[in-house]
Amino acid sequence: MKFKRFLSIPILAVFMLLGFVYYITVFIFIEDWIGLQSYFGSLNAMIFTFLAALSIFSFSVCVLTDPGQVPASYVPDVEENGISDEEIKRNSVQSKLCDKCSTHKPPRAHHCRVCRRCVLRMDHHCVWVNNCVGYWNYKAFFMLVLYATIGSIHSTVIIITCAFRKDWDFSGHTPVKVTSGFMMAALSLTLGTLLGWHIYLIIHNMTTIEYYEGIRAAWMARKSGQNYRHPFNLGACKNITLVLGPNMLKWLCPTAVSHLKDGLTFPVLRDN
């Protein structure tokens, strides 16, 4: 059933883009630059192939992994782990009732109108993976963006180097190469911006939804003469390990999520 998610026009478009980028990088620009038979040509082709394989693997994991569904038996803890009512109200970490599902949803869970269910620690619904990005597949999504960005930058550098070494003119097939160069530069910029955005979110232990909710919460707090702090921000180092895991050797593996728990409760920053 999960493999049916691949039967989507955006996902097919992603695979076509990956195939096109791989073809022009390896069989056109590396071949034109130094040749695939040379040592450095083979080395660059192997590095780019490795990055492309990691991107496809991370992409597949992100598509096939359920982001996290609220258990039907979920009942909010009345005690809220010992947090005072005032702190709960100020930081908005209490469980809420979903208007669409008519059931309780844990902190950081949100209802997805596309999936028609509540998703644990929902970041956003991504049409390019035909899935929500949530608690269980966020790391795979981040790894996908990371590997795709590195691969795009690598391809762009190869294209620029090829252009300077070969002293392109605008005859023959060169306009196609120039167009491909601009396309890869734009793709690198787009993916790089997305990567920077999610690095910021990870460092602050936020989701995209929580970021925009935080803007409104901060405005409301200033209006009432109070200060707002994101309740789940435990410091950069702790925030990174909560998403990528405590073992640095497993940070780059999209399937290394043994550090994740149930996605129903999260540590919060408490006032002393």
Burial of 22 (0-12, 13-18, 19+ CB in 10 A): buried
Rg (CA), the chain: 22
Question: How far apart are the two ends of the chain, measured CA to CA in Å?
Answer: 49
Q: Which of 126, 132, 162, 253 is catalytic?
A: 126
Active site residue 126: yes
Amino acid at the residue 120: L
Q: What is the DSSP secondary-structure string of 217-262? A: HHHHHHHTT-----TT---HHHHHHHHH-S-GGGTT-TT--TT---
210 vs 62: CA distance, rounded Å: 21
DSSP β-ladder status, 110-112 and 117-119: antiparallel
Question: Active-site positions?
Answer: 126
